[in-house]
A and B are shown apart, each in its own frame.
Chain A
Amino acid sequence: MESFITELLTLLFAALRSATPVLAVVLGEAMTQRSGVINLGVEGQMLLGAMTGFAVASVTGDPWLGVLAACGAGTALSMVHATLVLGCGANQIASGVAVLILGGGLSAYYGIPFVGDKIDTLGNLNQTFVSDIPLLGQFLGPITPTVLITLLAIPAISIFLFRTRLGLRWRSTGESQDITRNLGHNPVPYQLAAIAFGGLMSGFAGAALAVDYTANWVEGMTAGRGLVAVGLVIVARWNPWYALPAALLFGASEALNLKLQSWGVDISPYLLATLPYLIPLSVLMLSYRGLRASGGGMPAGLRVVFQSAR
């Protein structure tokens, strides 16, 4: 029994580790989409954040400076999307894809001199009081700072969005720009802030990967996790609280894929590799039965983006 609980906890914390970068992106992208803007470029912003964070950590020797630089890089790249979409009225889908490719290319090119560098990590909770907690200590100890920061972002975002006046206007911008204007508010600053916040979170997610978790920079290292996060926003129904189970679902299926192999379970590794996509997709399909009319929580303003894209 105890070994079963231990295995379960091992899996849970492995899921949390895998889920963290995805969770950060889901939170940021949900906020962006709440203002009526979709940004498919988050994957590119993650990559630029990962590379910049790793490079700064390598050059300065301070991984925390790396995290900050990653947030800055993600935000800066998201401003390309903002300029195209808000400034030039460009198609959001096309602009997002452009940002995605731009981030991939820029990070690959400027990351070349840093490949194979060794950086200091952010450390973890070992040697703090949590590692002395019986049973849980061995799991809480290895938790790293980016995991904690991402988890704390959930209530912070939730309070902002649902409990403040600014959050209300943010949401109303996403529901209807016309109504926001009629109320005497300009929607553009909200959308700009929303894109920037999405950029910040994806840059941070890049740092979580490159500076914190793997302490390594490899071209294209996000391996599609940014795009997965855009999909998970739908599973999370644009709600920061639901973002946690949605991202954990992905993290758990990814961890389970590897864990089942390590346990020697007799299932084809090819089938297991589909788990991280199959499970969230199934949950999405099941949870959306009967929700079709309401759009599953999709901001009404966002629907316009897809209708105009037709």
Chain B
Amino acid sequence: MKKAIRTLLATSILAASLPVAAETKVGFIYVGPKTDYGYNYAQDQGRLYLEEHLDDVETVYFENIPENADVQRVMERMVRSGVEVVFPTSYGYLDHALKVAEKYPEVHFAHSGGLKTSDNLMTYFAEIDQAMYLSGVAAGLTTETNQLGFIAAHPIPQVLRNINAFTRGARSVNPDVTTSVIWTSSWSDPTKEAEAAEALISDGADVLTGHVDSPINYVQVAERRGVYSVGYHADASQFAPEGWLVGAVWNWGPMMVDIVNSAQDGTWKSEHLRGDLLTGAARLSDFGSAVSEEDQQTVLDRQQAIMDEEFRVWAGPVVAQDGTVLVAEGDVMTLEETEKMDFLVEGVEGRLK
């Protein structure tokens, strides 16, 4: 009897010491280092925003997780340690996340950029190609050689959208412009990116941009060689005080707050959540001094037209490299079509595969 009372007492003390309202644990998984000053950095800024703006949230993160079965193990570990909302932030995590999501129906998953959902897996992304289009407008107005250079990692839809949007933006104000693309076959290889920038500049490009993990490498080479640069992922203007035009940057925080809130209050929807210039999830950075007041106004006017939905980046005619009309005048590509993009547009020089 005495023993039973002691056990009862011990159990109640243990129960009392547990926190009453448990914090929601949110887990993030990054394919590269969170300090890459690019894609992963932007996602991690979102995580920090989440911690700052929601009191009852605790975050954990794992960096440098490859897009293979490893990420499944990481997700399982997170779930077992009590994580209730998982953000697998890399494109290649999608199928692995779907598998883990099926196994743990009570856990919520928010995948970045994917095109598949399940009951407890939604996707989020932002139409950053709108900001890339606007950067292209600035580039098209600024270039003197009418040659733009684009340093790209891998030919996946997100990258192709940016190359095409950038080129379409530039050609909308300067039809003579062409964009040369160099593929580095790596999200992060600073030497190759710098050398690609050198190659593009020596062949006549006078505005460089790219879609690799960090804009710092090509922006610095452009500045050193006295040409202009357009950033991507994160603002790199401090690396190019002379030649910085503008850049397309992410702002994930508010969107992540919405996602975690919906998981907490039961309004979670299995959907493709997409932000844009209007919601602020993708935006244009500040202009550099190399863009004239007049040109800045042209870009901002176009931005207003996009936000007011008077103008759409993927409205026809969309013409492929070889001159084929892919989208006729009057038609607009759907979001799903743009997110599966597998072509380069007229004005782009370079091969897809």
- Interface residue ranges, A against B (CB under 8 Å): 10, 14, 17-18, 21, 108, 111-112, 115-116, 118, 121, 209, 213-216, 218-221, 223, 225, 254-255, 258-259, 261-264, 266-270, 273
A264, B36: Cα distance in complex, Å: 30
Q: Is B191 an interface residue (CB 8 A)?
A: yes
A223, B213: Cα distance in complex, Å: 14
A221, B195: Cα distance in complex, Å: 14
| Distance in Å: Cβ of A128 to nearest Cβ of chain B | 17
Q: Is B186 an interface residue (CB 8 A)?
A: yes
Which of A118, A225, A259, A266: most chain B CB closer than 10 A?
Answer: A259
* 16 contacts across the A-B interface (CB closer than 8 A): A14-B198, A112-B33, A116-B41, A121-B224, A216-B217, A221-B188, A261-B180, A262-B149, A262-B182, A262-B203, A266-B351, A267-B351, A268-B353, A269-B155, A269-B351, A270-B185
Within 8 A of A (CB), among B156-209: 180-186, 188-196, 198-200, 202-203
A213, B32: Cα distance in complex, Å: 22
Q: Is B216 an interface residue (CB 8 A)?
A: yes
Given contacts A221-B191, A264-B350, contact A214 B217 (CB under 8 A): yes
B199 touches A14 (CB 8 A): yes
Number of contact residues on B: which range applies? 35 or more
| Distance in Å: Cβ of B350 to nearest Cβ of chain A | 6
A218 contacts across to B, CB distance below 8 A: 36, 188, 190, 213-214
Residue of B nearest to A108 (CB): B33
| Distance in Å: Cβ of B190 to nearest Cβ of chain A | 4
A261 touches B198 (CB 8 A): no
Given contacts A112-B35, A262-B182, A273-B185, contact A254 B351 (CB under 8 A): no
Residue of A nearest to B185 (CB): A273
A215 contacts across to B, CB distance below 8 A: 220
B216 contacts across to A, CB distance below 8 A: 116, 216
A21 contacts across to B, CB distance below 8 A: 191
A273, B185: Cα distance in complex, Å: 7
B180 touches A264 (CB 8 A): yes
Given contacts A223-B186, A261-B183, A264-B349, contact A115 B195 (CB under 8 A): no
A115 touches B191 (CB 8 A): no
B180 contacts across to A, CB distance below 8 A: 261-262, 264
- Interface residue ranges, B against A (CB under 8 Å): 32-33, 35-37, 41, 64, 149, 155, 180-186, 188-196, 198-200, 202-203, 213-214, 216-217, 220, 224, 238-239, 349-351, 353
A214 touches B194 (CB 8 A): yes
Q: Which of B183, B186, B199 is close to A255, meaning CB atoms less than 8 Å apart?
A: B199
A213 touches B194 (CB 8 A): yes
B239 touches A118 (CB 8 A): yes
Q: Which of B186, B193, B195, B196 is close to A17, meaning CB atoms less than 8 Å apart?
A: B195
A18 touches B351 (CB 8 A): no
B193 contacts across to A, CB distance below 8 A: 214
| Distance in Å: Cβ of B63 to nearest Cβ of chain A | 9
A209 contacts across to B, CB distance below 8 A: 190-191
A116 touches B35 (CB 8 A): yes
Given contacts A262-B200, A269-B183, contact A216 B190 (CB under 8 A): yes
Given contacts A116-B216, A218-B214, A264-B349, contact A18 B190 (CB under 8 A): no
Given contacts A108-B33, A215-B220, contact A261 B190 (CB under 8 A): no
